Amino acid sequence: MNNLIWLIRASRWARNPPSRRMVMLVFAIVALGLTLLGLEHFGLWPDWATLDNPRRPPMPRL
């Protein structure tokens, strides 16, 4: 069933493709994310922007 939904979505996208501006916006966001990932991977990410304990479980709701 999920494949049928994606097929319908693809057919709508083929009929009404996104504008060039929207495509460039999506590529810019992806490039920014990859840049941040690369900075973190190569150790260039500043320490002040890193979580102290990223694996801490979430706080319970009251």
Model confidence pLDDT, tens digit, residues 8-60 = 989 999 999 999 999 999 999 999 999 999 998 998 988 888 877 767 677 77
pLDDT of residue 51: 75
Structure token digits, residue 37? 């990932």
Q: What is the pTM of this model?
A: 0.63
pLDDT at 32: 97
Tokens of 53: 């304990």
In the predicted structure, residue 1 carries a pLDDT above the cut 70:
no
The confidence score (pLDDT) of residue 56 equals 66
What is the H or E stretch that residue 31 is in?
A: helix 20-41
**How is residue 9 written in tokens?**
């979505």
CA distance 28 to 34: 10
Residue 52, pLDDT score? 75
The encoded tokens of residue 36 equal: 């941040």
